[in-house]
Amino acid sequence: MTVTENPTPMGFGRMHRKEDARFVRGKGNYVDDIQLPGMLHGSFLRSPYAHAKIVSIDTSAAEALPGVKAVITGKTLETLNLAWMPTLSYDTQAVLATDKVRFQNQEVAFVVAENHYIARDALELIEVDYEPLPVVADAKQALAPGAPVIRDDKEGKTDNHIFDWSAGDAEKTDRVFAESEVVVAEEVLYPRVHPSPLETCGAVADFDKVTGKLTIYSTTQAPHAHRTVYALVAGLPEHKIRVISPDIGGGFGGKVGIYPGYVLAIVGSIVTGKPVKWMEDRNEHLTATAFARDYHMRGEIAATKDGKIKALRVKVLADHGAFNGTAQPTKFPAGFFHIFTGSYDLEAASCDVTGVYTNKAPGGVAYACSFRITEAVYLVERMIDVLAFELKMDPAELRMKNLIKPEQFPYTTPTGWEYDSGDYPKALKLAMDMVEYDKLRAEQAEKLQRGEYMGIGISFFTEGVGAGPRKHMDILGLGMADGAELRVHPTGKAVLRLSVQTQGQGHETTFAQIVAEELGISPDDIEVVHGDTDQTPFGLGTYGSRSTPVSGAATAIVARKVRDRARIVASAMLEVSPDDLEWEKGKFFVKGDPDQAKTIQEIAMAAHSSLELPEGVEGHLDATTVYNPPNLTYPFGAYICVVDVDPATGQVKVRRFIAVDDCGVRINPMIVEGQVHGGLADGIGMALMQLMAFDEDGNHLGASLMDYLLPTSLECPSWELGETVTPSPHHPIGAKGVGESATVGSPAAVVNAVLDALKPFGVRHADMPLTPSNVWRAVQGRPIRTDLAIS
Amino acid sequence: MSSSNRSRVTIDVDGTRYVDDVEPRTLLVHHLREHLGKIGTVVGCDTSNCGACTVLMGSPDQPQQSVKSCSVLAVQADGASVTTVEGLAGPNGELHAVQQAFHELHALQCGFCTPGMIMSAVDLLRDNPDPTEEEVREGLSGNLCRCTGYQNIVRAVRSAAAALRAQAEVLAEVTA
């Protein structure tokens, strides 16, 4: 094998993953792998209409089919007060439609049968009489006078308005705009896409009538939050609910919320007295689980003629679908969109966001968006290029001129974020050196002479991850702090229990490395337990790149608490005062006498022995903690994309992609790089091929992998990565989150590159996805409406 | 619809012979997972795009090659021999070169595409023991991955190719 040794570093560094052993052998344990005695299978009947009144549902033929155990409709659920459930945005969502359907493929009935083949047969036998209603498929029509009211279930609701939300100082921003030499505006759409993890959503619910205990295995990124919500919704006592999140085949934000399928698996198990499995297929996943983006943005940028940016102003129309199920901290209905001033030092900024209902599936926050930062970064990075286009300036030079300087940190933005640390010019310079920027510009000019179109696109982004300070951030009232428990066994092996839930990000490896760094116990000797609410401390789960900022901090702190206990035990063993001991990774020794030492393993055994300990010290070697972060962490990056565009066909070829990321201290560089590779592929997908389009009747176009295109190995180039290290000053180990950075940062780089190539055609902006047909239209000077198929 | 209409199928899976009565409409992937307990092979889509269900399938007169087992009926596999990711490691649990390389070069994250990706790679390397990067990308284009951005997968497959070639050379020397 060409690779190096297989190191197990006693702390941070490249370490091969502990998780791999089971996955490369097909010995993972995903939800659909779970088989329980007597287990039944459930499947949904879904609506063919985007908006229609339900006149009647006849389930008699389905119920009569041999092997069918139950057919559940909205009427059944109404008797249990479960026909509607609360969403993560304090709205309600139909579990099974009762009055009417509000998006195509909405859940209408649920069949429980002996196997999933019979369940699917039974769906065909259910007769539903629908009365079609006018459809709101276009967010821009949602607030038009006379638009059909989608949420007439809500008392007194006479329109499709959900919320208005603003940030920044509007008055000051308007003033700066009025005084500025140059003002440029642009309509920028971030189209509806879908995270589409390779494993869809599913659950196995097992309600034990004797003990009254519900065990639910499910594809959840937030098992503890799910447990609390089930307790609140179903009225089951929380200690009688055990949520187990086994191995998850990717989440990408699509597995944060609670879906009707989870609820129906539970109801099905309660009704039949047997475990019930629900596993959706890809079409159901794409059409009915959390979408991402769908922000219609009007950006305005104010600057001087020589390119000093003064202010940004944004109006957003946010399409939330039929139920506001957006997953974000309660006080932030537009997530962290107001971080849209990005990496630049501006005088003023303001934004207004309006959310509307449409006849589409709920969602919005997903797909590595860090709570709408994808949209924020895309907006600002596009507006910078639009300004560069108008000023005829090089976009790299324009960025360099306006970046926040290293000495300005901690930096408070015009909309109130306090960035923790950054050295932006260094990262941008590194990316430009890696790509040999000047040489590329020369090549571009030369090629243009020959009638060949290449483009260079830059995106410089600042992320905000690690939600978050409990004072400002909660989800359904649950503060966003996370617990950790660490127990060192007598023989010096350890168990770390976490509230966060990996979906492939390597927590079982990297969290063991954090303990190893703090205690000097080999990561191979540390078992990381997560995803079982009976076994792990409370916390809010993994999304928003919050695992390292919040749980990573909790892990370092709980390990330090154990070390403090170990110091006392060692002092009793060595018969010296604790103050006379010094710590060297893995052992305490007496100051000035290094031979007088006790290893952490010896200390662990002694802590469980008959050794007499000082008054008040209970013995054993364990600790618990809850970490309430003081601020988010703000990783950043400089991305450069190089493309070749054929204007005759509209074909875009991504030739190179340079990604410089700075996430502070890197716990495991190998894993960070893998996270970045994956996010860059997302960027290519969103920029060039992914779209959830709808026709005017609300039919979902792009509801399978035949049309909703995911990048393959052929569309992805060999990524070129670079790094700088600017630690987070407030984080116990200086580490920032990073998982979503590449998904947040890369789409703008790709789009900017394509539009850079199209500059000779006078194209200033075109919306994603830049498919061959859209690029071709842009070259022809034709308008693009990518949010609807009816362009 | 249920038990009346069943066909007997005999399939060798990972070296063990299984004889079962299945409905003709049963997909091979469901037969493997639900009847034979071979849950290492997974399902990622419903339109034959993702390749997560890839296994090797052959018959007495045809060598094994990769198939998407969601697009094969179990009855079509009657008399066939099938290798899944669970049958790839050696008798003492030693990993196949492709499995080993996936681990060492961090070619997996959530692990969901991994079984199918590994089986496609094994098939690719049987056809082409020394593929270029482009050939690997082309050869794996029927397998979607959402986590890795493919780069480490490509590196792992080429690394495994080198290891397999070295193994073959040693074997040739020993037998010469």
Confidence of residue B4 (pLDDT cuts 50, 70, 90): low
Enter the tokens of residue A423: 């050295």
Query: pLDDT tens-digit profile of A709-721?
Result: 999 999 999 999 9
Confidence of residue A6 (pLDDT cuts 50, 70, 90): low
Residue A8 lies in a domain: no
pLDDT of residue B2: 47
Q: What's the CA gap between A417 and A385, in Å, rounded? A: 24
Domain boundary among A596, A611, A627: A627
CB A750 within 8 A of CB A725: no
Q: Is A282 on the interface with B (CB under 8 A)?
A: yes
Complex ipTM more than 0.90, yes or no: yes
Are residues A534 and A600 located together in one domain of the fold? yes
- The closest alpha carbon to A745, from A375, A275, A417, belongs to A375
Are residues A561 and A450 located together in one domain of the fold? no
User: What are residue B125's phi and psi, to 5 degrees?
Assistant: -75, -20
Enter the tokens of residue A573: 């063993």
Question: CB B141 to CB A678 under 8 A?
Answer: no
The CA–CA distances, whole Å, from A739 to A97, A464, A507, B15 equal 36, 12, 12, 41
Q: Chain B neighbours among A 296-335 (CB < 8 Å)?
A: none
Burial class (CB in 10 A: 0-12, 13-18, 19+), A167: buried
- pLDDT exceeds cutoff 70 at A21: yes
Chain B hits for A19, Cβ within 8 Å: 111
Domain boundary among A608, A627, A646: A627
Are residues A717 and A781 located together in one domain of the fold? yes
Question: CB B137 to CB A718 under 8 A?
Answer: no
Are residues A680 and A743 located together in one domain of the fold? yes
Q: Which of A17, A198, A713 sits opposite B140 (nearest CB)?
A: A713
- pLDDT exceeds cutoff 70 at A788: no
CB A640 within 8 A of CB A458: yes
Confidence of residue A234 (pLDDT cuts 50, 70, 90): confident
Which domains are delineated in chain B? 3-88 (3.10.20.30), 97-175 (1.10.150.120)
Are residues A697 and A759 located together in one domain of the fold? yes
Chain A hits for B121, Cβ within 8 Å: none
Query: pLDDT tens-digit profile of A257-275?
Result: 999 999 999 999 999 999 9
Query: pLDDT tens-digit profile of A35-76?
Result: 999 999 999 999 999 999 999 999 999 999 999 999 999 999
Mean pLDDT of B52-75: 97
Enter the tokens of residue A336: 């962290």
Are residues A488 and A462 located together in one domain of the fold? no
Rounded to a whole number of angstroms, the distance from the CA of B169 to the nearest CA of chain A is 14
Residue A80 lies in a domain: no
Chain B hits for A504, Cβ within 8 Å: 109-112, 147
Query: pLDDT tens-digit profile of A649-706?
Result: 999 999 999 999 999 999 999 999 999 999 999 999 999 999 999 999 999 998 999 9
Residue A455 lies in a domain: yes
Mean pLDDT of A19-25: 98
User: What are residue A664's phi and psi, to 5 degrees?
Assistant: 70, -140
Question: CB B138 to CB A714 under 8 A?
Answer: yes
Q: Is A398 helix (H, G, I), strand (E, B) or coil?
A: helix
Question: CB A713 to CB B109 under 8 A?
Answer: no
Question: CB B112 to CB A679 under 8 A?
Answer: no
More confident residue, B3 or A193: A193
pLDDT of residue B176: 76
Burial class (CB in 10 A: 0-12, 13-18, 19+), A213: middle
Residue A230 lies in a domain: no
A600-607 vs A553-574: helix crossing angle, rounded to 10: 80
Closest residue on chain A to B105 (Cα):
A3
Q: Is A40 helix (H, G, I), strand (E, B) or coil?
A: strand
Confidence of residue A785 (pLDDT cuts 50, 70, 90): low
Rounded to a whole number of angstroms, the distance from the CA of A41 to the nearest CA of chain B is 12
- The closest alpha carbon to A97, from A137, A44, A149, belongs to A44
Query: pLDDT tens-digit profile of A442-465?
Result: 999 999 999 999 999 999 999 999
Residue A478: CB atoms within 10 A of its CB come to 18
Query: pLDDT tens-digit profile of A478-497?
Result: 999 999 999 999 999 999 99
Question: CB B110 to CB A21 under 8 A?
Answer: no
CB A58 within 8 A of CB A253: no
Choose, out of A198, A510, A671, the residue to mutate when testing the contact with B (most B CBs < 10 Å): A198
Enter the tokens of residue A70: 């139950």
Question: CB A26 to CB B39 under 8 A?
Answer: yes
Confidence of residue B105 (pLDDT cuts 50, 70, 90): very high
Confidence of residue A782 (pLDDT cuts 50, 70, 90): confident
Closest residue on chain A to B55 (Cα):
A26
Give the A:B interface size as CB pairs under 8 Å. Answer: 196
Question: CB B23 to CB A117 under 8 A?
Answer: yes
Are residues A594 and A671 located together in one domain of the fold? no
Q: Chain B neighbours among A 110-129 (CB < 8 Å)?
A: 114-115, 117-118, 121
A202-208 sheet: strands from edge to edge: A68-73, A107-113, A40-46, A276-279, A202-208, A213-218, A241-244
The CA–CA distances, whole Å, from A730 to A637, B39, B99 equal 20, 44, 40
More confident residue, A786 or B144: B144
Rounded to a whole number of angstroms, the distance from the CA of B47 to the nearest CA of chain A is 7
CA end-to-end span of chain B, whole Å? 59
Question: CB B141 to CB A714 under 8 A?
Answer: yes
pLDDT of residue A616: 85
By DSSP bridging, strand A363-364 and strand A241-244 are: unpaired
Choose, out of A712, A719, A720, the residue to mutate when testing the contact with B (most B CBs < 10 Å): A712
Chain A hits for B114, Cβ within 8 Å: 23-24
Burial class (CB in 10 A: 0-12, 13-18, 19+), A663: buried
- pLDDT exceeds cutoff 70 at A358: yes
Residue A656 lies in a domain: yes
Question: CB B147 to CB A250 under 8 A?
Answer: yes
Phi-psi region of B159 (alpha: psi -120 to 50; beta: other; left: phi over 0): alpha
Mean pLDDT of A167-187: 97
pLDDT of residue B175: 84
Chain A hits for B143, Cβ within 8 Å: 712-713
Q: Letter for the amino acid at A419?
A: Y
Rounded to a whole number of angstroms, the distance from the CA of B117 to the nearest CA of chain A is 10
Q: Letter for the amino acid at A612?
A: E
Q: What's the CA gap between A669 and A665, in Å, rounded? A: 9
Q: What's the CA gap between A765 and A760, in Å, rounded? A: 13
Q: Letter for the amino acid at B59?
A: S
Are residues A740 and A770 located together in one domain of the fold? yes
Chain A hits for B105, Cβ within 8 Å: 3
Residue A778 lies in a domain: yes
Chain A hits for B95, Cβ within 8 Å: 24-25
Are residues A577 and A704 located together in one domain of the fold? no
Are residues A582 and A537 located together in one domain of the fold? yes
CB B89 within 8 A of CB B41: no
- CATH code of A548's domain: 3.30.365.10
CA atoms within 13 A on the CB side of A273: 2
Residue A216 lies in a domain: no
Question: CB A282 to CB B152 under 8 A?
Answer: no
Residues A624, A630, A635, CA angle at the centre, nearest 5°?
105
Residues A666, A748, B154, CA angle at the centre, nearest 5°?
55
Residue A743 lies in a domain: yes
Q: Which of B84, B147, B154 sits opposite A504 (nearest CB)?
A: B147
Query: pLDDT tens-digit profile of A90-135?
Result: 999 999 999 999 999 999 999 999 999 999 999 999 999 999 999 9
Question: CB B112 to CB A671 under 8 A?
Answer: no
Q: Letter for the amino acid at A591?
A: K
- pLDDT exceeds cutoff 60 at A387: yes
- The closest alpha carbon to B2, from B18, B19, B20, B22, belongs to B22
Residue numbers of the domain that contains A548: 482-627
Helical ranges in A461-545 per DSSP H: 507-519
Q: What's the CA gap between A381 and A637, in Å, rounded? A: 12
Confidence of residue A409 (pLDDT cuts 50, 70, 90): very high
- The closest alpha carbon to B149, from A659, A511, A640, belongs to A659
Question: CB A30 to CB B106 under 8 A?
Answer: no
Are residues A652 and A791 located together in one domain of the fold? yes
Query: pLDDT tens-digit profile of A617-634?
Result: 899 999 999 999 999 999
Residue A426: CB atoms within 10 A of its CB come to 16
Domain boundary among A575, A608, A627: A627
Q: Which of A3, A22, A66 sits opposite B104 (nearest CB)?
A: A3
Q: Is A504 on the interface with B (CB under 8 A)?
A: yes
Question: CB B42 to CB A121 under 8 A?
Answer: no
In sequence order, the 6+-apart residues with CB closer than 8 A to the CB of A67 are A113, A114, A115, A118, B2
User: What are residue A656's phi and psi, to 5 degrees?
Assistant: -140, 155
Question: CB B106 to CB A674 under 8 A?
Answer: yes
Are residues A495 and A561 located together in one domain of the fold? yes
pLDDT of residue A735: 98
Q: Which of A1, A250, A670 sits opposite B146 (nearest CB)?
A: A250
Number of domains in chain A: 2
Kindly report the average pLDDT of chain A as a whole number. 96
- The closest alpha carbon to A87, from A30, A39, A154, A33, belongs to A154
- pLDDT exceeds cutoff 50 at A791: no
Confidence of residue A87 (pLDDT cuts 50, 70, 90): very high
Q: What's the CA gap between A291 and A186, in Å, rounded? A: 25
Chain B hits for A250, Cβ within 8 Å: 109-110, 112, 146-147
Q: Is A254 on the interface with B (CB under 8 A)?
A: no
Whole-structure pTM over 0.90, yes or no? yes
Phi-psi region of A623 (alpha: psi -120 to 50; beta: other; left: phi over 0): beta
Q: Name A354's bridge partners.
A: A164, A317
pLDDT of residue B174: 87
Kindly report the average pLDDT of chain B as a whole number. 96
Chain A hits for B142, Cβ within 8 Å: 712
- pLDDT exceeds cutoff 90 at B120: yes
Residue with token string 């000053």: A729
Rounded to a whole number of angstroms, the distance from the CA of B131 to the nearest CA of chain A is 14
Q: A707: which DSSP letter?
A: T
